[in-house]
Amino acid sequence: MLIQSGFQRVNFSRVAFPKKAVIEYMNIIETIENRETALTVDELGTLLNSSPKTLYKAISAGRLPAYRIGGSIRLDPHDVAQWLRDRHTKN
């Protein structure tokens, strides 16, 4: 497939567009959902490549479901997986 872009022709049939972002997104959700134990904020931050501070803000604002056990915050993997699915944007 050839597409004229300004003055340059680009042949997209030779360009591989990996579905890596979609695959990684689904793998993250599946990885989280298949866990049998609760997640810590640090573990979720590592999986999502997000800072714990950002996650704590989402939890305190009520946007991310979490549980307080003693002085610790834990996240149910199934709730987190559903939370991610609800926020998935389809571009």
Per-domain boundaries in the chain: 18-86
Fold for domain 18-86?
Answer: Multidrug-efflux Transporter Regulator; Chain: A; Domain 2 (1.10.1660)
Q: How many of the other CB atoms lie within 10 Å of CB of 73?
A: 20
Does pTM surpass 0.75? no
* Biggest alpha carbon–alpha carbon distance for the chain: 64
User: 48-89 pLDDT, tens per residue?
Assistant: 899 999 999 999 999 999 999 999 999 999 999 999 988 876
